Amino acid sequence: MPEMSTRPKMIIDCDPGHDDAVAIVTAAHFADVRGIVTVAGNAPLDRTTHNALVMRDLLELDTPVHSGAARPLIAPARDAGFVHGESGLDGAELPEPTTPLDSTDGVDFIIDTCRAEDDVWLVPMGPLTNIALALRQAPDLVDRVAGISLMGGGTFGNRTAAAEFNIWADPEAAAIVFGSQVRPLIMAGLDVTHQFQVTRDRIEQTRALPGRVASILADLFDFFSGTYLRRHDDGSIGGAALHDPLAVLAVTHPALFDREQRHVVVETKGEHTAGMTVIDGRALIERDTANCDVLTQVDHHAAFTLVLEAIEATA
């Protein structure tokens, strides 16, 4: 995939979340964000929606925010307060939002927007509930969207031994998305996002930037990295994995990444493997046809330089 010569249009589907907040900053700078839709995930829906509104105000975005699904398709909602704090964005003094929510019909917003104009990317970085509902209600979106670039999955898990949180939180929704015919379908899984860590040096680089957003994000990074460092016992983690911006950068700066074409399905029923992304890496001729661009490597130095550029642009 070549570098984009124009700002790609995208809908951000998110559950802010520290890394979601950075992804919103990154998308606002490098893409044409048509809207932000929230989903329950890192925190309950009321908190993720609140946090999205906070980010819109901080960035002074003229972008609608719509809330979406408050729970997975089948299972009860399960959040990640143990990573992001009870607010979803613990660690910084955040202003109260001053602009109202545009609607509580986030799925309808996705459908209507993608029917009104072609070539809109869907960029989900939380549980895939809203995207699955939109595809189920409007199968024609398969041929209308530019593609889906998602954060989730991997060859190992973080919520269980086999499952990454976003896929684990709603495996049935993820199975619908991976089973759809949307192409390209890009997966930024843990294998690549764990290469992109917000280390102490990177926190200080952020703090050195001018402006309120940089100061807030540096405080958020301190909290977020602290949870990672406390919860890991090996030397591979030097700070929080900054997962979600990679789903944005995979669209805006695809040359940052190495990728492999793979067939990926989602396990929904396994006692120990529900939410696992099963990535077919076989070389056998009879393997299933690839349905996913699996990101395998990122130029993390260049990627963080782009994130810093986006943050500095908010000053």
Q: Which pLDDT band, with edges at 50, 70 and 90, does 2 fall under?
A: very low
**Secondary-structure class of domain 9-312 per CATH:** alpha beta
Instruction: Tell me how far apart the alpha carbons of residues 25 and 311 are, in angstroms, rounded to a whole number.
Output: 7
pLDDT score for 235:
82
Annotated catalytic residue 243: yes
Instruction: Tell me how far apart the alpha carbons of residues 144 and 220 are, in angstroms, rounded to a whole number.
Output: 36
Q: Please name the residue ranges forming H helices in the chain.
A: 18-30, 45-59, 81-84, 106-116, 129-137, 165-169, 171-178, 190-193, 200-207, 212-231, 245-252, 300-312
Candidate list 243, 263, 272, 301, residue with the active-site label: 243
Query: What are 100-132's pLDDT values in tens digits?
Result: 999 999 999 999 999 999 999 999 999 999 999
Q: What percent of the chain has pLDDT over 70?
A: 98
**Global pTM value:** 0.96
Which has the minimum average pLDDT: 192-206, 224-238, 278-292? 224-238
What is the chain's mean pLDDT, rounded?
96
Query: What are 136-159's pLDDT values in tens digits?
Result: 999 999 999 999 999 999 999 999
Query: What are 14-68's pLDDT values in tens digits?
Result: 999 999 999 999 999 999 999 999 999 999 999 999 999 999 999 999 999 999 9
